[in-house]
Amino acid sequence: MQSSRNRPLRVLILALDVVLVVVAMAMAAGLHAVLRDRVGALKQPPRFDEYALLVYLSVPLWVALTAMFGLHRTFERTWTRLALAIDVLKLHLVGFLALSTAGFLTQAVINRSLVVLFLACSCLLSYAVRSGLQMWRRYQHRTGQTRQRLLVIGESSPELLDFLARNAQEAEQPVLVGLLGPSEIAGLARLGSLEDLERVLHDEPLDHVLFFPPHNRPADVAVALAACETVGVPAEFAVDLGQRSLAPPRLVDLYGRPFLSFDPAPKQPERLALKHAFDWIATTLGLIVLAPILLLVALAILVTMGRPVLFIQARAGLNGRTFRMYKFRTMVVDAEAKQSALAAQNEMTGPVFKVTADPRVTRLGAFLRKTSLDELPQLFNVFLGQMSLVGPRPLPIKEQQQIRGWHRRRLSMKPGITGVWQISGRSNIDFERWMELDRKYIDDWSMRLDLAILAKTVPAVLFRRGAR
């Protein structure tokens, strides 16, 4: 619920960043004109189309990077000045690399001095605006303007005691106005019983009324709920879980009905949308750039091994959906039929199969595996939305069906071409550790983590760590 309330503020910050990009470009243009008479390297004035192209590329890029680095949570997070400066610098460093890559791939000509001035102005503006917003937020909290004032209704219960303990650890604690209940509770001023709610709502400035057991069922306190609604104060009801759940409960709307959701690793839809957009854009560019290599590998397989060029196998995707995964063929034609004869040589624990000196692998196939070139056709799976660039490796249906319990958590995100397993040693780690790495990736997922894995994949492939 808190996430939903903060979403408009995040959108507002992202909109502000769009304005800052335009202002930074205007500042860069002005500085360029002023410095041209003093700095010899700036003699050539940029053309209008260069200004327009830089803004056109920067606006969506800066919005995406702001979300990726969490800088759109200005009103939710508390940064030190140094931490904020580091995050802003990281954003602009990644932005510079992305602009350079886009320029290289598209061969667009942009005045380099203009780009440098734009990045400097944008960095200073972003830091100054966010520092100002943080100072304003701290001032508002210190004077009590944004500090939440809560009224608690209930009696001593595990839920209420846990709430009080957590509240004591908050950096920006809300004001606990008091308690309506049958007995005193340490840390709360008793203001009466449930029947006194209307009086307290009239006498006290309140932002929320929190209902704890035994008053946490809306149907049982309909009069109190109506009183809150009458004066416009939100009412929240503590969820009685019965036992502690690892997954935090969330109220969601499904097909027009409210449901209490227990999602073990909730992912924000806007961030997943960013991941999918990045996958599609990067894959499209990758297929264009790598098209000659794909063609050469296909021709090499056709000449040395014959048809088929591709190995197509049913794999387990998101939440167990079946899809057809593409790889360049690296084995003899009847490889799958011969696997049972090699079962005794399997070197992997668990239900997966791997043999170092697999006799089914051809000489060209061994080279393709060592260099990971056999994985390139999976870019088409990413383009079709069946896979992601980064995620748990998809297993064959037969192997996935043998996995039980928490190991199946790996299915809760789209499978990837690369992932934590690939950069951690691949075949050099055992099955249990592999599953633990997948679970940690799913629980800790962020776009920053995806980019870090992609960056580490390149040396892992070049040095052939764990490749068989």
In sequence order, the β-bridge partners of residue 462 are: none
What percentage of residues in the chain have a pLDDT greater than 90?
A: 26
366-409: pLDDT as tens digits: 899 888 899 999 999 999 989 999 999 999 998 888 888 888 88
Q: How far apart are CA 278 and CA 284, in angstroms?
A: 10
Q: What's the confidence (pLDDT) of residue 448?
A: 86
Q: What's the confidence (pLDDT) of residue 375?
A: 92
| Rounded mean pLDDT, 228-256 | 77
| Rounded mean pLDDT, 335-344 | 73
Q: Average pLDDT of the chain?
A: 83
Checking if the pLDDT of 39 tops 80, the result is no
432-443: pLDDT as tens digits: 888 889 888 988
Name the token pair of 214.
Answer: 């035994």
- Note whether 65 and 91 are within 8 A (CB): yes
Task: Provide the 8-state DSSP code for 392.
Answer: P
Checking if the pLDDT of 225 tops 70, the result is yes
List domains and CATH numbers for the chain.
Answer: 2-142 (no CATH), 149-262 (3.40.50.720), 269-462 (no CATH)
Q: What's the confidence (pLDDT) of residue 191?
A: 92
The SS3 call for residue 51 is helix
Task: Provide the 8-state DSSP code for 173.
Answer: P
- Note whether 88 and 125 are within 8 A (CB): no
96-114: pLDDT as tens digits: 888 888 777 766 666 778 8
Q: How far apart are CA 199 and CA 194, in angstroms?
A: 10
Q: What's the confidence (pLDDT) of residue 111?
A: 72
Sequence-ordered alpha helix ranges (H) in 388-446: 397-400, 420-423, 431-443
Torsion of CA 39, 40, 42, 43, to 10 degrees: 130
Q: CA separation (Å) from 381 to 157, 274, 377, 397, 401? A: 51, 18, 8, 16, 21
Q: How far apart are CA 414 and CA 407, in angstroms?
A: 15
| Rounded mean pLDDT, 319-332 | 90
| Rounded mean pLDDT, 154-177 | 80
The candidate with the shortest Cα–Cα distance to 290, out of 387, 373, 391, is: 373
Checking if the pLDDT of 252 tops 80, the result is no
DSSP run (H or E) holding 258: strand 257-262
Checking if the pLDDT of 60 tops 70, the result is yes
Torsion of CA 250, 253, 254, 259, to 10 degrees: 50
Q: How far apart are CA 283 and CA 446, in angstroms?
A: 19
Name the token pair of 138.
Answer: 């701290």
Lowest-pLDDT range of 36-50, 54-68, 72-86, 326-340? 36-50
The SS3 call for residue 16 is helix
4-30: pLDDT as tens digits: 556 677 888 888 888 998 899 889 888
